[in-house]
Amino acid sequence: MRTPLKRLTMHNQVKELFRKGFNDSQIADIAGIHRETVSKYRLMGDDDFLSFLQQQKLRNRKLMPYESFVAERIKHYPACSSAQIEDWLKEHYPDFPQVTTRTIYSFVQWVRQTHNIPKPKGRNRQCHPVEELPYGQQGQVDFGELWLVDQDEHRIKVHFMIMVLSRSRRKFVRFTDQPVTTRFVLEAHELAFAFFEGMPKTLVYDQDCTLVVDENRGEVIHTAEFERYVLQRKFMVHLCRKSDPQSKGKIEAGVKYVKRNFLEGRAFINLELLNQQAVDWLHRTANTKVHASTRLIPDDEWKTEAGYLRQYTPIPLGGVAGKFYNVRKDNTVSYRGNFYSLPLGSYEGPGTNVIGKQE
């Protein structure tokens, strides 16, 4: 966090370098600040800059009533980000004043310095850009878990499924305090599709045990319940290679985002409340803040993407209707001792199935 004296020194340095003939990009490299900051400082006269410093003081003063809350949060969870602090403030103080994210970041840095609570250093991870997909083309699904502490200081492990629309980056997350089952996954899918008001054409998954039984010479065999669901919902499934997080792209960041910006530092009261808090967080923060990669707001992009999603009609969460029938190599199925023909091309290899009406 830059103090007023440091800002004033920087302003004088920018002016002096500009007088010597350096351009904005060169000054930014020399001073170690962003080129836009150079441009802003260069265009300010001395009186304008003093007024700017006074405004910065007033902004920080505006957040001073929240100093003890922020300090207490950082003490309990030193690794928390300023984005998480911002969300906590909005969650706990409905009348929280409207200030920029940058102002909150500066205030959090000031609290860390004042109370001597440095942020632990983490490991840097190398990333590469992923080509943007068409609207409505793809969603990604993954699972995570984290230990929380309840009001009696008991540790509770919560599991979650997150689904992200690959183009708009709109997110949905659902929690359970029990080990993840296929039933939970299907119910979470239904809630996600309702939240998105539609379904993407393809969903990308990790080879999770709730969805995949085994591999047979490269052929993936889905669990029967998940296979029935896919057949009824008619979306394409793409499974990532095992132990290859890079092939999952955007969803990996989504799992960490849920952990670091929503779960960590949160007390567990009960599952119903946790899921409601998650929905509030999605509407308040996760889908309404500018995305770090796209520089767009997920909810705004989703308004466009919704028109490209496949139509969603709810099905009962009690289970997927219909009976599971194995498709033979000759594109036939056996029913009550008789063989019935299917359209040519129905058989797509081992594990191909269709759904028939429940008897």
User: What is the Cα–Cα distance from 115 to 74, expressed in whole angstroms?
Assistant: 10
User: What is the Cα–Cα distance from 283 to 289, expressed in whole angstroms?
Assistant: 10
Contact 52, 44 (CB under 8 A): yes
Q: Are residues 54 and 183 in the same domain?
A: no
Given 114, 147, 166, which residue is the final one in a domain?
A: 114
- Domain residues for 343? 324-356
pLDDT of residue 327: 72
- Beta strands at 155-165 and 353-356: parallel, antiparallel or unpaired: unpaired
Within a domain: residue 126?
A: no
Q: Are residues 56 and 108 in the same domain?
A: yes
Name the DSSP class of 81. Answer: -
Residue 174 bridge partners (DSSP): 161
Which is it for the CA torsion 230, 233, 234, 240, positive or negative?
A: negative
Q: Are residues 86 and 203 in the same domain?
A: no
Q: Are residues 298 and 329 in the same domain?
A: no
User: What is the Cα–Cα distance from 9 to 13, expressed in whole angstroms?
Assistant: 6
Can you give the CATH number for the domain in which 178 is found? Answer: 3.30.420.10
Within a domain: residue 17?
A: yes
To which residue do tokens 């990308």 refer?
A: 204
User: In which element (H, E) is residue 107 found?
Assistant: helix 101-114
Q: Are residues 294 and 328 in the same domain?
A: no
Record the tokens describing residue 285, joined without a space: 């923060």
pLDDT of residue 109: 83
Q: Are residues 297 and 333 in the same domain?
A: no
Within a domain: residue 248?
A: yes
Within a domain: residue 303?
A: yes
The structural domain count of the chain equals: 3
Give the mean pLDDT per block of 10 residues along the chain (359 residues).
Answer: 67 86 88 83 81 65 84 88 88 87 83 85 52 87 91 91 94 92 89 94 77 56 77 85 54 82 92 94 93 88 95 70 64 70 66 53
Write the CA distances from 242 to 74, 78, 161, 239, 273, integer angstroms: 36, 33, 18, 9, 34
pTM over 0.85: no
Residue type for position 46: D
Q: Are residues 334 and 278 in the same domain?
A: no
Record the tokens describing residue 203, joined without a space: 């969903």
